[in-house]
Structure 1
Amino acid sequence: MNKFDAVVVGDANIDLVVAGYGRFPQPGEEVFVDRMTMHVGGGAALFALSLARLGLAVAFKGVLGSDSLGRFIREQFAAYGIDTSLIQASGVHPTGISIAFNPDTDRSFISYAGSNLELDLDRLSPDEIARGRHVHVTGYRGRENHEPYLRMIKALKRKGATLSCDVGWDDSGEWYGGIFELMRHIDVFLMNETEALHYTGCSDVDDALRHMAQYGRHIVVKLGADGAAAMKDGLIVRRPGHKVEAVDTTGAGDAFNAGYLYGFIEGRDPEACLEYGNACGALSVGAYGGSTAAPDLRQLHAFLHRHRGGTEVPGEAARSAWERGK
């Protein structure tokens, strides 16, 4: 019996968001800014918060420092209804911190991984994690952790969970081809446009999706302001993005993931999942912090109703066997 709709495995840290400044200080200088705020950060944590806001029962698996910042993250998870019983407390590293600078032109980050370094894939319990009917995994680092990552994925598949993965940026620059082996075992594989083109060597998103169709059954590529595209069983569908005023784009991709996978977990077709993902991504950029503006289900449906002129979202009537049995 599954206890959770989804278990999320990966990173959680503190985001310090700095806004309203003209320049970085020179050595010996002090620069005052308009605003500095503290939020939960980390792709896995932001995804978990956004998914929980949509009403699903979510548990988080990661490592937090035994410090005030770790307690802050636990409290924020609890406020969203996220189960924290799977979180490991570190006695070695403090909780990670990322300082996000948000000038009008682009974002910059200074980051310390902290306790996230202690998430050991080979020591995870498949029985514990598979208490979710769906499992979302992050933290793939190419050749560096490919083998333990693949072992974890195969073990979870044997337990019967459906799986999703957001591969993330390859800061090694290798764009390791082992990712295509990983795709064979993942139910929904997510990446952004730049990552898709780097991994496949293609210059066009549709070509990249067709290339990845040789390996994965269900691939999703985020296109930023242009929306997103999905390929399932060789069929490619696209949905456009929404024009909104962006305050902070931190976590927009994680919010998209939450919307898309909410649809997937609830049995919707890829077109409806894209609608949910694009709407969640658009709503998330309306406030500082990666999950501050993440919508609940009522807000999501209201946004879609406004932006679709009152028409029904494609696939909205489709329900999974799980949901019909509730």
Structure 2
Amino acid sequence: MSSPFKVLTIGDAMITLNPAVKGPLRYVTQFERKVGGAELNFAIGCARLGLGSKWISRLGEDEFGRVIYNFARGEGVDVSGVDFVSGRPTSLNFKEINEDGSGKTFYYRYNSPILTLTPDMIQEELFENIDLVHLTGVFLAIDPKNIEIAAKVIEAAKQKKIPISFDPNIRLKLWSIEEARKAYKEILPHVDILLTGLEEIRLISGMEEEDELALFAREYGIRDLVLKDGANGSKLLRNGDWTRAESFHVTPVDTVGAGDGFDAGYIYGWLNGFSKERLLQFANGVGALVTTVSGDNEGLPYLNEVNAFINNDLIVER
């Protein structure tokens, strides 16, 4: 059953080339073509859960650009904010996956089509019927002017009283931690929901103790500070109180995209008024299911799959 709520996100997408075998990339000779990108993963995750989902981006006017566009549209994502750009190749990345499911990603996004997106392209009509805007640090890291674009998105959202969620999603291959902190200081005062990893919040704030993080959230006016900690579960700070939820026991095969799935699950529950405990449980369930399937977004579950998984604490037939 679809939800009456609709989310909007903005960011790059890439063709992801997944290795046919596990281990160091230098020994891999065959790859499978997939589609990836943090913001697109989030948009697809929301769409599969039944939320309306809109994605703003730019793609190369090439075969790979068409692959991404058609894939997103086929998943039910609103792509009316996506345009094709000639002379700019669609970005690529190659994944390296280790035997334990962990891995690395190698990016090839020079002269990316997303670089043609400018602040003046963020028009008011993009925000019609939007209930929440989701931003990530990946988009901010790609190009310095994207901070201006994010500021324009935030301004438009605030004018319409649309809440904003933010996942720092730190990519130190794209920028330094000093650059990231500077950008985040501009974004955080406008964030309603901060969805971050435990290690990320340490890097951003230099804090990790709960009382310190409570001060951090209060300083920036963050309503929900959500900490994702993988197999250790997650916790939420709201109104000065912490709520915790344990992780689900699964055997991970690919951890890429789990954080994006968690974000989609949390936003679904938040928009639908879930209790704090159920919010974390639901988001943990989505994130856990993502890790059981290889690929950036192939493991993003549908609503009935999440509910069945949470209720039974078992991997469902997929």
Match of 1:50 among 37, 45, 50: 45
3-state secondary structure, aligned to 2:219: coil
Aligned ranges for residues 1-326 of structure 1 at < 5 Å?
A: 5-25=6-26, 31=27, 33=29, 36-104=31-99, 106-113=102-109, 114-138=112-136, 139-141=139-141, 144-145=144-145, 146-169=147-170, 171=172, 172-174=176-178, 175-177=180-182, 179-204=184-209, 207-215=212-220, 216-307=222-313
CA distance in 1, matches of 2:142, 2:203: 13
Aligned length: 300
Between Structure 1 and Structure 2, the one with more helix by share is 2
Identity %: 29
What 5-or-longer segments of structure 1 have no aligned partner? Answer: 26-30, 309-326
Structure 1 pair 264/110, CA: closer, same or farther in 2 (3 Å)? Answer: same
The one-character-per-residue Cα deviations of 1:234-293 (angstroms, maximum 9, x if unpaired) are 222111111101111110100000100010111223322211110000000111111111
Structure showing greater radius of gyration is 1
Contact kept? 2:290, 2:300, Cα under 8 Å: yes
The one-character-per-residue Cα deviations of 1:68-104 (angstroms, maximum 9, x if unpaired) are 1111112211221112111011123111111111122
Contact kept? 1:197, 1:208, Cα under 8 Å: no
TM-score under structure 1 normalisation?
A: 0.84
The one-character-per-residue Cα deviations of 1:182-206 (angstroms, maximum 9, x if unpaired) are 2232221211111101111114356
Aligned to 1:322: none
CA distance in 1, matches of 2:23, 2:162: 48
3-state secondary structure, aligned to 1:6: strand
Segment drifting more, 3-12 vs 61-70: 3-12
CA distance in 1, matches of 2:182, 2:211: 19
CA distance in 1, matches of 2:246, 2:207: 21
CA distance in 2, matches of 1:52, 1:303: 18
Query: Which one-letter code corresponds to 1:248 in the other structure?
Result: D
The one-character-per-residue Cα deviations of 1:161-183 (angstroms, maximum 9, x if unpaired) are 22212122052121425534522
CA distance in 2, matches of 1:206, 1:17: 41
| C-alpha RMSD over aligned residues | 2.4
TM-score under structure 2 normalisation?
A: 0.86
3-state secondary structure, aligned to 1:64: strand
Contact kept? 2:122, 2:152, Cα under 8 Å: no
Q: Could you list the structure 1 runs, at least 4 aligned residues long, displaced by more than 6 angstroms after superposition.
A: none
